[in-house]
Chains A and B, each alone.
Chain A
Amino acid sequence: MSEISSPSPPSAANPGGLVCSPAPPAEIDASCRPPLVVLFLCAAVWLVIGSAFALIASIKFHAPEFLADSAWLTYGRVRPAGANCMLYGFCMPAGLGVALWLLARLGRTRLVLPGLVTVGAVCWNLGVAAGVGGILAGGSTGFENLEMPSYAARLAFLGYLMIVVWGALTFHQRRERQLFVSQWFLFAALFWFPWTYSTADLLLLTFRVRGMAQAVIAWWYADNLLVVWLGLVGLATVFYFVPKLTGRELHSRYLALLTFWMLILFGSWGGIPASAPVPAWMPVSSAVATGLGVIGIVAVALNVQGTLGGQCSKLLTHPSLRFIGFGVVAFIVGGVISAAGALSEVSHVTQFTWFTVARGLLNSYGFFAMVMFGAIYYIVPQLFGIEFPSAKLVRVHFWTAAAGILLLVVPLAAGGVVQGLKLRQPEIPFTDIAKGTLPFLRASTTGDLLIALGHLMFLANLAGLAVRFYRARAISAWAAATAEIKPAEARP
């Protein structure tokens, strides 16, 4: 057991004498361990389940009869189930886990009440399980990225609240009062989701608004989750790990401040597609906001490049940095694509095609998931104090995931552009257009397969490490419990 830090007496730097001295990292990690183990392990399991669903959905394009007789596994159910597993089963819990660890470490304080956070994590996962089951059973709400039926979504939301309340308290009780860049992003992210989710729940699931207003609110919610929330947590992780693992300082806190403002201000105004059957000012506002958001993307690129000192090969040194570097590149490419989509000439071609799907996958898989992998591969050995059973598997995972994401995103994007150009020519019959997308979909199915393999490796590595740790703990606890009582200890 490490010593508990005691409050320091008043001094020049600490006039009130109330701020405690920073807690040592090992203590912080130990306090984070129970909730983060639940969060990360369950996230890895959801990842595998989600990629299985995604694979089934992908195969149905090449063999429409595949599992066609099962209502539970029809494309329209298995596709949102897979997407929800990925988003709510992996992305959000992994993001929350990393966020809690970062807030604790950067605040130099232990995580507040980790037991309750663990309960919240369990609650979240129960909610997601009920939600995915509900979608497969036909209870989908019909709103994209909000498909989980309300009973499940509210249970998960309860879990989220339990996690973030203690996260916010951890931030509040930080012993290092000066804020690092990542802490702004994470603190904003903590309560971004409750506001957007509770609005969506009230106006779409509880007291349903009328007509097209539903779709506008659903698009607003989805954009704030996928672009802003994932962006805030992902960038916080990038801005922490790139300087930390290269041993240099972050290039510019002002560029990071610019990124923060661009993301929360313009990121939250995106989301309405150009073709939407709503008054013109809504899609135009979204397009303008997305176009302006490119400034934030450029600021991230400058910041990361400056931190590396222009030597991008540094990204290959540490295994976690490879993942994070890939994520940064995916973020920049995806952001530029989104900004280009602000032009109506571009959006008229890419709307309703696989291109929009590819852009979404680049954001959630290419950027956020890869950054989370990098972070988790660093954090988990710190939590347990032991290294991964197989470091080689981490490297193989990276190359599998990178190849998989490229094989998934690039053919879908290309196929989407071809599809979109053909859709603009009414003389081309629709069945020809659908057939024309099949070769691209075939390539993307291989990408799906590789990604699923990568996820299995991730789960195997994490589970192996957890098993090794807890088995060692169990063995030593058993040994301590069954050891012979020495005569000196025996009571007379």
Chain B
Amino acid sequence: MNYGPLVFLAAFFALASSWCGFVLTPQLQIGRLQQTNTVGGAASRYPVARPGLAQQGMEVYRANGCAYCHSQQVGQTGTLLEIALTEAGTNQAATIAALRKLAESAPDQPARLTLLVPLPPGLSNAASATILEGLPRTFLRSSTREAANAAVKTLNATSAKAQLCIVPVGPDLARGWGKRRSVAEDYLFDLTVMPGSQRVGPDLADLGSRQPDANWHLRHLYAPRLEVKGSTMPPYRFLFEKREIKFRPSPEALALPDELAPGAGYEIVPKPAANALVAYLTALHADAPLFDAPRTLPPSAGTPASTNAPVVSGASATNAVPTNAPAK
């Protein structure tokens, strides 16, 4: 019997199944995604397309293989439901009593709410006042949504203002690399998606939120060990040019210490590629609250629980040109 066609059919079937699973279905599910709305508070469209210089910067990122050392995807290992007080209200004793009561566990039920701030029973008025002074502050953590909702209602009824906070947690987030996990919508307008697979250097998904200073980025690209001690990143001096100072120093010239300075009469100026790359890096954001990656903004004092100001994400058009004068 000629087994040749059978071998072909077996291989065809196997590859067809994985093609359906990892080519067709992802295209149907995430390849046709459109802009979506943020959740919680006034909704804004997300993501917003990057400004033009940042798009060019992405090409520089791709051409120089930055993705071989830097990942652009943060993960999350869990989500916490926390209740914070934003305003103490008039009846502070009632508020403290309510907090204590909420954290009690009934004899037949496990405690669903835990107090994050110790509230010993014999608390004096002065001590209560001190605790309720430093608001906004998170007081309770809940293990279920309904317990959290009930707690917010109870606390609101005591004339204080309570707010339910949704807090994503994980080692990446604890490092400050993001506020919630990366999801497919974050990459919607990337011409080339480069999530990266190595963390030889830190993750860059939310870089624009934690390091928006364009000058820092330019100095870091020129001499990484200037900004980060002990860094193993190679210097990208070929993205800059050393040129003679004519008439007056350029506002774009880098401010470098003596051992790296180019010498009298010369200045280091970023090439367009460096400016584009920095525009891209400072436009990297991944913190907008979405349906599939929910979070609430941290509570701020005095503002009512309802108005969470929208997060401006992905669209900070920091087309920043460094404006420091060179050290003479």
Whether A426 pairs with B18 at a CB distance below 8 angstroms is no
Whether B184 pairs with A80 at a CB distance below 8 angstroms is no
Min C-beta distance of A113 to chain B, whole Å: 19
- A71 at interface by CB-CB < 8 Å: yes
21 residue pairs bridging A and B, Cβ less than 8 Å apart: A69-B238, A74-B236, A75-B68, A172-B4, A184-B3, A195-B15, A210-B33, A212-B26, A216-B22, A220-B19, A224-B15, A264-B11, A269-B21, A275-B73, A277-B181, A278-B30, A352-B71, A356-B197, A423-B171, A431-B228, A432-B230
In the bound complex, how far is the Cα of B190 from the Cα of A211, in angstroms? 6
In the bound complex, how far is the Cα of B26 from the Cα of A272, in angstroms? 12
In the bound complex, how far is the Cα of B62 from the Cα of A247, in angstroms? 52
- B8 at interface by CB-CB < 8 Å: yes
Whether B64 pairs with A212 at a CB distance below 8 angstroms is no
Contacting A at CB under 8 A, from B31-85, are 31-33, 62-69, 71, 73, 75, 77
Whether B233 pairs with A220 at a CB distance below 8 angstroms is no
- A438 at interface by CB-CB < 8 Å: yes
Whether A268 pairs with B18 at a CB distance below 8 angstroms is yes
User: How many A residues touch B, CB cutoff 8 Å?
Assistant: 82
- Decide if the interface of chain B is mainly helix, strand, loop or mixed: loop
Assuming the contacts A77-B64, A279-B29, asked whether A179 and B7 have C-beta atoms less than 8 A apart, the reply is yes
Whether B26 pairs with A76 at a CB distance below 8 angstroms is no
- A271 at interface by CB-CB < 8 Å: yes
- B327 at interface by CB-CB < 8 Å: no
Whether A271 pairs with B22 at a CB distance below 8 angstroms is yes
- B10 at interface by CB-CB < 8 Å: yes
A40-48, A136-144, A153-161 - the one binding chain B: A136-144
Whether A64 pairs with B18 at a CB distance below 8 angstroms is no
- A446 at interface by CB-CB < 8 Å: no
- Residues of A near B194 (CB, < 8 A) are 142
In the bound complex, how far is the Cα of B64 from the Cα of A71, in angstroms? 8
Assuming the contacts A80-B65, A213-B31, A276-B195, asked whether A265 and B17 have C-beta atoms less than 8 A apart, the reply is yes
In the bound complex, how far is the Cα of B194 from the Cα of A144, in angstroms? 9
- A424 at interface by CB-CB < 8 Å: yes
Whether B187 pairs with A212 at a CB distance below 8 angstroms is yes
- Residues of A near B233 (CB, < 8 A) are 64
A186-194, A327-335, A367-375 - the one binding chain B: A186-194
Question: How does the 8 Å CB contact mask read for A187-224 relative to B, with 1 for contact and 0 for none?
Answer: 11001100110010001000011111111110110001
Whether B23 pairs with A71 at a CB distance below 8 angstroms is no
Q: How large is the interface on B (under 10, 10 to 19, 20 to 34, 35 or more residues)?
A: 35 or more
- Residues of B near A431 (CB, < 8 A) are 228-231
Min C-beta distance of A326 to chain B, whole Å: 27
Whether A352 pairs with B26 at a CB distance below 8 angstroms is no
- A248 at interface by CB-CB < 8 Å: no
- Residues of B near A142 (CB, < 8 A) are 62, 67, 192, 194
Whether B2 pairs with A177 at a CB distance below 8 angstroms is yes
Min C-beta distance of B225 to chain A, whole Å: 8
Question: 7 extra interchain contacts, Cβ-Cβ under 8 A, other than A142-B192, A278-B30?
Answer: A141-B62, A142-B194, A195-B15, A212-B30, A216-B22, A352-B196, A426-B175
From B66, B75, B234, name the one whose CB has the most chain A CB atoms within 10 angstroms: B234
Assuming the contacts A179-B4, A425-B171, asked whether A210 and B188 have C-beta atoms less than 8 A apart, the reply is yes
Assuming the contacts A64-B235, A210-B31, A211-B190, asked whether A188 and B22 have C-beta atoms less than 8 A apart, the reply is no
Contacting A at CB under 8 A, from B79-130, are none
From B8, B19, B22, B175, name the one whose CB has the most chain A CB atoms within 10 angstroms: B22
Contacting A at CB under 8 A, from B186-219, are 186-202
Min C-beta distance of B241 to chain A, whole Å: 12
